[in-house]
Amino acid sequence: EEVSRIKSVLEEDSTLSLQNKAICLLALYTGMRSGDICSLTFRSIDWESDLIRIKQQKTGAALVLPLRAVVGNAIFDYITKERPKSSADTIFLTINAPYRRLHSSNLNAICIAVMNKAGIRQNPGDRKGMHLFRHYLATSLLSYGVERPIISSTLGHQSPVSLAPYLSADFVHLKECALSIDRFPVRKEVFQL
């Protein structure tokens, strides 16, 4: 439900900048880490093959991800209609001069603003931020039956064990583990003090 509300905001809210839409769609559909999004260069995107090729900031490992049309279109719109004129190689830049690449904290602020517009994670202590988009992607892929090694590879993990924290929210499969209490009748004496 949270993902569909985020997608609705990204598709329908005309007050969001093209940059914010592109960044959130990129995170939502690829699960890229915020540092990798900040470092994304024009050379990273293979428009003809619909691929994103990066060297991960965290691990240094190469990662190749599919570039879905919705993401590619959002990035293209940002580059052609809103990105400041700059010789910087990184795609996403600050909106004020001197134009510099964005920082992870900028992306978290963008993500939190989108979540607020979507009306999700509003309570104090609720986890917010770009990292949740990685959780959403991992959970979604698992719910569609994608094998864990593929999910781990998509997220750029060196080991499938690293996937465990992302999958704790897989409620569909967790419900399969639940036992029915119908076989364990509770007598009224249980409730007497």
173 catalytic residue (yes or no): no
Catalytic residue among 83, 117, 134, 135: 134
Catalytic residue among 33, 101, 117, 135: 33
Count CB neighbours of 131 within 10 A: 18
Q: Reduce the DSSP state of residue 185 to 3 states and report it.
A: coil
Query: What residue type is 23 in one-letter code?
Result: I
CA–CA gap between residue 133 and residue 33 (Å, rounded): 9
157 catalytic residue (yes or no): yes
Catalytic residue among 55, 58, 100, 173: 58
33 catalytic residue (yes or no): yes
134 catalytic residue (yes or no): yes
CA–CA gap between residue 142 and residue 18 (Å, rounded): 30
58 catalytic residue (yes or no): yes
Catalytic residue among 29, 78, 136, 166: 166
Catalytic residue among 21, 117, 135, 157: 157
Catalytic residue among 21, 101, 131, 135: 131
Of 18, 15, 38, nearest to 105 (Cα)? 38
CA–CA gap between residue 158 and residue 82 (Å, rounded): 36
C-alpha pair distances (Å), 97 with each of 81, 109, 129: 17, 19, 26
Catalytic residues: 33, 58, 131, 134, 157, 166
